[in-house]
Chain A
């Protein structure tokens, strides 16, 4: 163990063989090369890990409620008193309102277009009124008060094979040119 001396005298081999820039233009020392390889390897390994971790955070399966569901037959949603009728019975379960008009049925997504609270139907005012910031919507979903920037969204609706109304909450619109299309409005002649 004679060579195992105190760490006072720095070994000569530790000194850099060539100072930076002392090599001819375009030439790299072995140390420079290994240095580069080391950093490249480390970045590739950690970068690959980071990418995999990000992908890992995007689940391939969800345990959320199906956005497509049936809500019963058109006869369950009659027009009462000849006036546009709002059914709020499914608000808690599906967060929708079913609206029956003289010529058909459509379905609102019960979500304020301001910041996403659930407005409540106030029969006396015939308005959907949001408790958070006071946005009001009429039975057509148009903004009549408050900060909401655009009308309420409507869900895609269709008649399923068994005659029930099928709602798809994943497809929404509040575009005036679309809200009366077959996709978002069930015309009365479909069942009567």
Chain B
């Protein structure tokens, strides 16, 4: 046994002094304070977190880790969502059956679908709690207004991801929920066929009707049909996740650039931000 471990250690040493290994891991295993710092600075994923933070930022009851939880849920939703895409076809004759197959006939399909569903619900909740925490902590104030704005857009994108994902099972709940939801879109002022002031664009010759308003653009038709399902699928799987990822990156980056997490001023040490 001891011989085995000695051989194992020798093998690991050989691998870790290999040129390819050294090109991937540009430092030793982070055992010392110096090497831990090097890891944080040199690693793409770890550099998100600063090498050193204020003690206040590590207080668990200050942030409750809500932002990180929301991001982890986003990752879980991405991974499970990509896997679900292998069995789902956005076709009105197949979609419902595909979902039933995922639920009852595909190995781990139930687990993946339920993870996707519950993570989505949880993400909605967590994102709202995250916003509340930032509000109550006053963390939206100068110089963090821009990041608050990004966060508001991310909240809307989370809503839209939920809404577009809602239609995809193509069951009665999905169909009528999206019928109701898009009819609300039809009540948009000026741009919706049933909205107030929708006659106004008519003054410049633009007719806003059932087949020429924003609801029509969203659904690609006057009813929730094949075009609508495909549009929601593309928005849900491609467009909205890409926008979300971009904004999440900016959101994280701005936390660092705005001086880390918000914290109380230390009397006599910190200057009041202008």
**A interface vs B, CB < 8 Å?**
1, 3-7, 10, 14-16, 19-20, 52-53, 55-61
Show 24 A/B contacts (Cβ-Cβ < 8 Å), sorted by A. A4-B54, A4-B266, A5-B55, A6-B269, A7-B53, A7-B55, A10-B33, A10-B52, A14-B33, A16-B31, A16-B33, A19-B31, A20-B31, A52-B107, A53-B83, A53-B108, A55-B107, A55-B108, A56-B83, A56-B86, A56-B108, A59-B87, A59-B106, A60-B105
Task: State whether A60 and B106 are in contact (beta carbons under 8 Å apart), knowing that A7-B52, A52-B111 are contacts in the complex.
Answer: yes
Is the beta-carbon distance between B107 and A56 smaller than 8 angstroms?
yes
> What separation, in Å, do the CA atoms of A57 and B87 have in the docked complex?
9
Most buried by A among B55, B109, B263: B55
A78 CA to B74 CA in the complex, in Å?
65
A55, B111: Cα distance in complex, Å: 13
Across the interface, B106 reaches (CB within 8 A) one of A5, A15, A56, namely A56
With CB as the reference atom, state the residue of chain A lying closest to B84.
A56
Q: A10-B33, A16-B32 are in contact. Are A4 and B108 (CB under 8 A)?
A: no
**What residues on A are CB-neighbors of B111 within 8 Å?**
52
A56 touches B269 (CB 8 A): no
Q: Which of B41-81 contact A (CB under 8 A)?
A: 52-56
Which residue of A is nearest B80, CB measured? A53
Instruction: List the B side residues contacting A10 at CB < 8 Å.
Output: 33, 52
Cβ–Cβ < 8 Å partners of A4 in chain B = 54-56, 263-264, 266
Residue contact A61 to B105, C-beta cutoff 8 Å: yes
* Number of residues of chain B lying within 8 A (CB) of chain A: 23
Main DSSP-derived SS at the B contact region: loop
Query: What B residues does A5 contact at CB under 8 A?
Result: 55, 266
Which residues of the other chain, A, contact B266 by a CB distance below 8 angstroms? 1, 4-5
The verdict on A61 contacting B54 (CB below 8 Å), with A4-B263, A56-B112 known, is: no
* A4–B101 alpha-carbon span in the complex (Å): 55
Q: For the complex, give the distance between the alpha carbons of A7 and B263 in Å.
A: 13
Residues of chain B from 74 to 120 with CB closer than 8 A to chain A in the complex: 83, 86-87, 101, 105-109, 111-112
Q: Are A60 and B264 in contact (CB under 8 A)?
A: no
* Residues of B close to A52: CB separation below 8 A: 107-108, 111
Residue pair A1, B105 in contact (C-beta under 8 Å): no
Report how far A161 CA is from B105 CA in the complex, Å: 32
Expressed in whole angstroms, the minimum distance between the Cβ of B105 and any Cβ of chain A is 5
A1 to chain B, nearest CB (A): 6
**A residues near B31, Cβ cutoff 8 Å:** 16, 19-20
Q: How far is the CB of A45 from chain B (nearest CB, A)?
A: 12
B105 CB contacts on chain A under 8 angstroms: 59-61
Q: Which residues of B contact A53 (CB under 8 A)?
A: 83, 108
